Amino acid sequence: MKGKEQLNFIEQIIENDLKNEHNKDELCFRFPPEPNGFLHIGHVKAISLNFSLGKKYNAPVNLRFDDTNPVKENYEYVSAIKKDILWLGYKWKNECFASDYFEKLYEWALGLIKNSKAYIDSQDSNKIAQQKGTTTLAGTNSPYRNRPIKENLKIFQEMKEGKHPEGSHVLRAKIDMNSPNLLMRDPVLYRVLFKEHHRTKKTWCIYPLYDWAHGESDYIEKITHSLCTLEFKPHRELYNWFLNELPALKHKKPKQIEFARLNMSFTVTSKRKLSELVKENHVSGWDDPRMPTISGLRRRGYPPEALINFVKKAGISKRENTIDFSLLEFYVREALNKTAPRVMAVLNPVKLIITNYPTNKEEYLEAENNPENKSQGIRKIRFSKSILIEKEDFQEAFSEKFFRLSIGKEVRLKNAYIIKANSLKKDKSGSITEIYCSYDPQSKSGSGTVQSKRKVKGTIHWVSEKYCFDIEVNLYDRLFNTEAPDRNKDRVFTQFINKESFVKINAKAEESLVSAKEGDIFQFQRIGYFAVDKESRKEKIIFNKTVGLRDNWTKKKKEFKKLR
């Protein structure tokens, strides 16, 4: 039975916590990206989850950059991440950086050493890894495990002062080398890294590891519910261990809750893999319109509400699943159908001459900009004797099944007249170069008073030969030619790149499009949605194909229901 709002499992936990341990005004959430790449569609799920909870409970949501690894992180990523979140329509309360807490974390690490809960290990990383053991084999204590506190403090201080080379020492928590959870086997907290940080510059040459920095950052920011993906589940024990070892807590501890990642078919959602695509030049950049990054999807013409509706439909659960790419396309069409103005463009033109139309005549026809949204009004398009239509919309031989133009058959020219094809001309190779038609002067369509009621089965789009102009169109297809490119044991994911995923063509557009600018999205009637690319110039407007008009999601819907 529906009716009452259904709570997801995280909301249920929060509701319960509100009854037992938290006041409503204590609630605080965060989205914690590592600035080592651009955000992707998977992150939209985490972003939407946290910010929706913030909205629902009127609680702050922090944007926290988990910037503890200067080797991979940089400021370009920080800016890109902020831009993407704002574009999705979300606003964070505080912009935080784990690097702002380096001093505090260092101080707390000293506390651990003083309490004999951490020690300096002077073995190299291979040796430490060897002693870690396995799930079936207990670990081995490091020979440095019982190093005197004083000596630990001295070396740690020297590490901070840059007196020890990389790899010479690490600080490890002293937990349990026999723990069934490998993460609890004396995890490393700090390593020496002579690498300039994008914010702290050269202040630090020791850097905290994720597990040590994350929960403590949550605590400093008074986060109540720290939401992360399922792979962090085994980290929860360590997360809690660290929090319990902190000096007397002044406020409540954050709670880590894990949810399932969003996986999407025909793509990869891992920053490491996306970064590989960029570095190895498989794509033109993080914002290549085939990338599942927010910036790529934006450049492709996907509107923010489509991304959000998609991740909401995918839902919050504890079980991993893969959502079909075509569901995302469904939401893109749904959003653009309401907003995108209709225009005409011909991708693969052939000339058509209307023999009974007066040679020097030109007239303005009225075309509706968006039948789904009358407030977008009408525009005027010039019509004359010579026009261009799609080659595919003409077939020489008459056939009952072909509803477009063929010899002896009538179709309506969109926003214009009904025409009938009578003859054609071919070049030496046999390709059609011109189609000759006659038109019915009484059949004018449009929103004027002389609107014709006469109906024919087919309608085709066209552009005026004289007034159309050249555009460039980037046609895109799935970046990978298999549903799960990164789940094949024998082949690396880049081997599944769809070589035909990008094709550039020249096309013709109606004159109203000359003023189109970056980010504008149109429906090219009967073809699909197209977004003006950032590389457009005044002399050459470039359109990215966002998505076709046809919805092949509907037939997948049943499958999707089964999945959920």
**Catalytically annotated residues:** 34, 261, 271
The identity of residue 351, as a single letter, is K
Q: Which is nearer to ligand ATP, 270 or 481 (CB)?
A: 270
CB 202 within 8 A of CB 195: no
In the structure encoding, which two tokens stand for residue 55, read together? 């909205």
The CA-CA-CA angle for residues 466, 467, 468, to 5°, reads 105
Helix 41-56 / helix 75-88 crossing angle, nearest 10 deg = 60
Distances (CA, A) of 297 to 44, 88, 285, 291, 342: 12, 11, 12, 7, 21
User: Among 113-121, 268-276, 420-428, 554-562, which window interacts with ligand ATP (CB under 6 A)?
Assistant: 268-276
Length of the chain: 564
User: Among 28-36, 235-243, 355-363, 448-456, which window interacts with ligand ATP (CB under 6 A)?
Assistant: 28-36
- Backbone φ and ψ for 327, nearest 5 degrees, come out as -70, -40
Q: Which is nearer to ligand ATP, 253 or 273 (CB)?
A: 273
Binding ligand ATP (rule: CB under 6 A), the pick from 69, 269, 443, 445 is 269
Q: Which is nearer to ligand ATP, 239 or 417 (CB)?
A: 239
| Alpha carbon distance 323, 341 (integer Å) | 29
User: Among 32-40, 55-63, 149-157, 540-548, which window interacts with ligand ATP (CB under 6 A)?
Assistant: 32-40
Q: How far is the CB of 272 from ligand ATP (least distance, A)?
A: 6
User: Among 20-28, 31-39, 111-119, 428-436, which window interacts with ligand ATP (CB under 6 A)?
Assistant: 31-39
Binding ligand ATP (rule: CB under 6 A), the pick from 164, 169, 199, 271 is 271
DSSP strand pairing (469-476 vs 502-509): antiparallel
DSSP strand pairing (29-31 vs 386-390): unpaired
Q: What SS3 state is found at 366?
A: strand
Q: What SS3 state is found at 54?
A: helix
> Which residue in the shown chain puts its C-beta closest to ligand ATP?
42
Q: Which is nearer to ligand ATP, 160 or 235 (CB)?
A: 235
Q: Does 321 bind ligand ATP (CB under 6 A)?
A: no
3-state DSSP percent of the chain in helix, strand and coil, to 5: 30, 25, 45
Q: How far is the CB of 300 from ligand ATP (least distance, A)?
A: 19
Q: Which is nearer to ligand ATP, 235 or 290 (CB)?
A: 235
CB 193 within 8 A of CB 207: yes
Q: Which is nearer to ligand ATP, 274 or 471 (CB)?
A: 274
User: Among 26-34, 336-344, 384-392, 496-504, which window interacts with ligand ATP (CB under 6 A)?
Assistant: 26-34
Q: How far is the CB of 65 from ligand ATP (least distance, A)?
A: 9
Nearest to 303 by CA among 88, 48, 19, 65: 88
User: Would residue 234 be called left, alpha or beta, if left means φ above 0 and alpha means ψ between -120 and 50 degrees?
Assistant: alpha
| Alpha carbon distance 65, 171 (integer Å) | 23
Q: Give the x-and-dash track for 42-81 against ligand ATP (CB under 6 A).
A: xx-xx-------------------x---------------
Q: How far is the CB of 349 from ligand ATP (least distance, A)?
A: 42
Look-up: residue for tokens 């914690």?
32
Q: How far is the CB of 439 from ligand ATP (least distance, A)?
A: 55
Q: How far is the CB of 60 from ligand ATP (least distance, A)?
A: 17
Q: How far is the CB of 193 from ligand ATP (least distance, A)?
A: 19
Q: How far is the CB of 269 from ligand ATP (least distance, A)?
A: 4
Helix 149-160 / helix 102-114 crossing angle, nearest 10 deg = 160
Q: How far is the CB of 64 from ligand ATP (least distance, A)?
A: 9
Q: Which is nearer to ligand ATP, 44 or 437 (CB)?
A: 44
Q: Which is nearer to ligand ATP, 318 or 466 (CB)?
A: 318
User: Among 27-35, 69-77, 339-347, 415-423, which window interacts with ligand ATP (CB under 6 A)?
Assistant: 27-35
Q: Does 272 bind ligand ATP (CB under 6 A)?
A: yes
Q: Which is nearer to ligand ATP, 33 or 485 (CB)?
A: 33
Q: How far is the CB of 37 from ligand ATP (least distance, A)?
A: 7
Three-state SS string over 136-195 comes to: CCCCCCCCCCCCCHHHHHHHHHHHHCCCCCCCCCEEEECCCCCCCCHHHCCCEEEEECCC
**Number of C-alpha atoms within 13 angstroms, CB side, residue 531?**
21
User: Among 41-49, 121-129, 386-394, 423-431, which window interacts with ligand ATP (CB under 6 A)?
Assistant: 41-49
Look-up: residue for tokens 């078919």?
265
Q: Which is nearer to ligand ATP, 262 or 468 (CB)?
A: 262
Q: Which is nearer to ligand ATP, 267 or 525 (CB)?
A: 267
Binding ligand ATP (rule: CB under 6 A), the pick from 261, 298, 342, 404 is 261
Write out the DSSP string of 89-134.
Answer: T---S-EEEGGGGHHHHHHHHHHHHHTTSEEEE-S-HHHHHHTT--
Three-state SS string over 439-458 comes to: EEHHHCCCCCCCCCCCCCCC
Binding ligand ATP (rule: CB under 6 A), the pick from 27, 33, 302, 332 is 33
User: Would residue 524 be called left, alpha or beta, if left means φ above 0 and alpha means ψ between -120 and 50 degrees?
Assistant: beta
Q: Does 32 bind ligand ATP (CB under 6 A)?
A: yes
Q: How far is the CB of 8 from ligand ATP (least distance, A)?
A: 14
In the structure encoding, which two tokens stand for residue 58, read together? 């009127």
Q: Give the x-and-dash track for 362-401 against ligand ATP (CB under 6 A).
A: ----------------------------------------
Q: Which residues within the stretch 502-561 sit at the binding site for ligand ATP (CB under 6 A)?
A: none
Q: Does 172 bind ligand ATP (CB under 6 A)?
A: no
Q: Which residues within the stretch 198-257 sit at the binding site for ligand ATP (CB under 6 A)?
A: 228-229
Say how many C-beta atoms besides its own lie within 10 A of residue 322's C-beta: 18
How many chain residues touch ligand ATP (CB under 6 A)? 16
Which positions lie near ligand ATP, rule CB under 6 A?
Answer: 32-34, 42-43, 45-46, 66, 228-229, 261-262, 269-272
